[in-house]
Chains A and B, each alone.
Chain A
């Protein structure tokens, strides 16, 4: 039997709300400050983290983003080109079946979306994807 993603999402909704961190800070810090805060200045590795985002946003006000980092205890998402780069930090408890999160974010313009995962051993990995926000029209 197959569950549709819609059913799975409805089932999983409570869990998502419980685990997804909400940006708490009202003032805007820079992307670099946020990363330093999250990693404590630790070196950033590559690999083991996958960020899925559209190359060109269909609607800059609600851009679907998903991130997966098997073995992570936390994943921070940043929109480097927004006035306030904070998107959120997802924390995964030991009972989390997978270290994956998806959400929709608002992008002020073309920019890099950045994801940094904290792994169980305390190391950090980073990835980024450029998302273009365009006026549109004229295609065809």
Chain B
């Protein structure tokens, strides 16, 4: 049993370097416009084993705008606790000053004004600077990538992830796990893993679908900092449900708690003094794993795109949430003595693109991957008067533009757009480029279909997706946000049981209630069904933006949320 007190002392030692609150210090420095690269990356670490965590970069090699969610509801045991805090509640929980640099980085309020003050975040060349600085202090630090790396941009789509594979090899990653990687198709995944990747591709929960045998390496063991650390990979459990199964039919996933427990035990029996779970489960699933599976010291969480400034402790396990889109890098210093982890210090490093200098080597490599597509990506399609963003449990303004595009270009009454959590924002007044459109649409099953659905079926679809988000047991959630709707209004009671959350469906064009028996013309994209027909969504969105010239998309109120 590790006394909780020791961990708290370790944490205090780290924050003491910053005075009362590390985060408060950053805020003040930023307010005084004295935020420096050294302030962000921080001083030399404590302990003897250092982990560096990056996750869910979604192929964003460039600095981005990315507005964090305004609505990010937790249900059941996760209600009202991190990561399900936004805005003022988030600031209060972590002592963050309103209007500070960290407020801008971690919450949604005043995003446009604060963005203009603090600038974009991320950029793989800046991340390389952070990684190199940590390795200068701790040369044998382990760099771990939580996945969703090879998808999410035009270059990644066109090269089937090659750009990101080459760049992450150059960054010096030590191990990764996966989710969207598999949407490149299983042949491509195997080709990369077997012939190109310079580090292990881990997934203890990836099995051969026919024979139910492990299909990828479950664990990598490293001797670093005078200790032996086992890194176990856990791929996104619901790949064949949330993404098209036909793209990777040989594989089965799932949470597989018993399997994970067995891999942890084997690692311990093999002499591992520290066990790290490199996870793409999603935060709430990992919180339950931490409670149910003994022997995991640190879970590096992913998938749900949460950035949390402090570790979340569950029993003797520490959960780290490092955000998405390259906005953050986590540094975790572990004190391993007498055969076990005795302390942990953590720093969520915000990658402010205007403060952290680009690493010239990585900048050149990134430039080379973009060069073949530079002209195509830069093409202006229109401008936006409004902030375009996606992240949040319900419609974002970017999704509203996509839904409007589906309604107008596909001549539909109702539009459905998937609740993806990836996709960079565009600031008001900015030109919308083709690259911007691909940043919210680039994926391998983009057909914008048009079909007929009855009102009854529409309700079933909404209920189904709502349960995948709001089931009180996280093991039954899929980690995406609610499906976005255009032309349709509804009320949702998130606390109600499956099948009775959705009510008051209304066709916005007429104001009439949705008739369960009537067929409606519905357009959507990202169907998981094989053989879905239609133009790629980016063509649909591009045509819409060109026809509009200037896009205006203020937040809408066609979804009423209750039961919070």
Q: Spell out A's residues near B (CB within 8 Å).
A: 4-6, 9, 52, 54-59, 64, 102, 110, 130, 132, 134-140
Which residues of B come within 8 Å of A, CB atoms?
148, 179-180, 209, 211-213, 236-243, 245, 252-255, 258, 303, 418-422, 460-461, 464-465, 467-468, 471, 473, 475-476, 478-481, 483, 498, 526-528
List 29 A–B pairs whose Cβ atoms lie within 8 Å, in order of A's numbering.
Answer: A5-B212, A9-B211, A52-B258, A54-B254, A55-B254, A56-B476, A58-B241, A58-B252, A58-B253, A64-B212, A64-B252, A130-B476, A132-B471, A134-B464, A134-B468, A135-B464, A136-B241, A136-B242, A137-B418, A137-B465, A138-B242, A138-B465, A138-B468, A138-B526, A139-B238, A139-B239, A140-B148, A140-B242, A140-B418
A71 to B37 Cα, complex, angstroms: 64
Contacts of B209 in A (CB 8 A): 58
- For residue B213, which residues in chain A have a CB less than 8 angstroms away from its CB? 4-6
A57 to B498 Cα, complex, angstroms: 16
* C-alpha gap A120/B467 in the complex (Å): 41
In the complex, which of the residues B241, B254, B303 has the most CB atoms of chain A within 10 Å of its own CB atom?
B241
Shortest CB distance A38–B (Å): 26
In the complex, what distance in Å separates the CA atom of A52 from the CA atom of B258? 9
Nearest Cβ distance between residue B149 and chain A, in whole angstroms? 13
Q: Closest residue of chain B to A53, judged by CB?
A: B254
A140 to B239: give the CA distance in the assembly, Å. Answer: 9
B419 touches A138 (CB 8 A): yes
Chain A residues near B241 (CB, 8 Å)?
A: 56-58, 134, 136, 139
Partner of B211, one of A5, A54, A58, A130: A5
Query: Which DSSP category, helix, strand, loop or mixed, fits chain A's interface?
Result: loop
What's the Cα separation between A135 and B242 when bound, in Å?
A: 9
Query: Is the CB–CB distance between B255 and A140 below 8 Å?
Result: no
Given A5-B211, A5-B212, A59-B245, residue A138 in contact with residue B253 (CB < 8 A) = no
Contact indicator A59/B464 (Cβ below 8 Å): no
In angstroms, Cα B473 to Cα A137, docked, is 19
- Interface-central residue, A6, A110, A137, A140, by most chain B CB under 10 Å: A140
Query: Which residue in B237, B245, B422, B465 is a CB contact (below 8 Å) of A140?
Result: B422
Q: What B residues does A52 contact at CB under 8 A?
A: 258
Name which residue of chain A comes closest to B253, CB basis.
A58
Q: By the criterion CB–CB under 8 Å, are B476 and A132 in contact?
A: yes
Please report the C-alpha to C-alpha distance between residue A138 and residue B524 in the assembled complex, in whole angstroms. 11
Kindly provide the distance from the CB of B551 to the nearest chain A CB, expressed in whole angstroms: 24
Q: Once the chains bind, are A56 and B498 in contact (CB under 8 Å)?
A: no
Residues in chain A near residue B421, CB distance under 8 A: 140
Contact check, A138 vs B480: say whether CB atoms are below 8 A apart.
Answer: yes
Is B245 a contact partner of A58 (Cβ separation < 8 A)? yes
Known interface pairs A6-B211, A136-B241, A138-B419; A55-B253 also in contact (CB < 8 Å): no
Which A residue's beta carbon lies closest to that of B468? Answer: A134
Q: How far is the CA of A57 from the CA of B240 in the complex (A)?
A: 9
A59–B248 Cα gap in the complex (Å)? 13
Q: A52-B258, A58-B240 are in contact. Are A138 and B418 (CB under 8 A)?
A: yes
Closest to B475 in A: A55
Nearest CB in chain A to that of B461: its residue: A135
A63 to chain B, nearest CB (A): 11
Q: Bound complex: CA of A135 vs CA of B483, how far in Å? A: 12
Is B528 a contact partner of A137 (Cβ separation < 8 A)? yes
Give the Cβ gap from A26 to chain B, nearest Cβ, in Å.
30
Docked complex Cα distance between A5 and B303 (Å): 31
| CB pair A110 B498 closer than 8 Å | yes
Q: Which 10 A-B pairs have the closest CB atoms?
A: A139-B242, A58-B240, A139-B480, A139-B478, A138-B418, A55-B475, A136-B241, A135-B464, A137-B528, A6-B211
Q: Report yes or no: B243 in contact with A139, Cβ–Cβ below 8 A.
A: yes
**Would B255 and A139 count as touching, CB distance under 8 A?**
no
Taking A6-B211, A139-B238 as given, write out 13 further A-B residue pairs in contact, using a Cβ cutoff of 8 Å, ordered by the A residue number: A56-B238, A58-B252, A58-B254, A134-B468, A135-B460, A136-B241, A137-B242, A139-B468, A139-B478, A140-B148, A140-B180, A140-B421, A140-B480
**Cα–Cα, bound, A9→B213 (Å):** 11
The reply to whether B476 and A55 contact each other, CB–CB distance below 8 Å, is yes
Query: Which residues of chain A have C-beta atoms less than 8 A from B526's C-beta?
Result: 137-138
Contacts of A137 in B (CB 8 A): 242, 418, 465, 483, 526-528
Q: How far is the CB of A95 from chain B (nearest CB, A)?
A: 25
Q: Name the A residues within 8 Å of B253 (CB-CB).
A: 58
Bound-state CA distance A140–B212 (Å) is 25
Question: Considering only CB atoms, which chain B residue lies closest to A139 in the complex?
Answer: B242
* C-alpha spacing A43/B239, complex, angstroms: 40
Minimal beta-carbon separation of A103 from chain B (angstroms): 12
Taken together as a complex, chains A and B put the C-alpha atoms of A4 and B243 apart, in Å, by 29
Residues of B within 8 A of A58 (CB): 209, 238, 240-241, 245, 252-254
**How far does the alpha carbon of A137 sit from the alpha carbon of B241 in the complex, in Å?**
6
The residue among A54, A58, A64, A139 with the most chain B CB atoms within 10 A of its own CB is A139
Contacts of A59 in B (CB 8 A): 240, 245
Shortest Cβ gap from B359 to chain A (Å): 29
Collect the chain A residues with CB atoms within 8 Å of residue B483's CB.
137-138
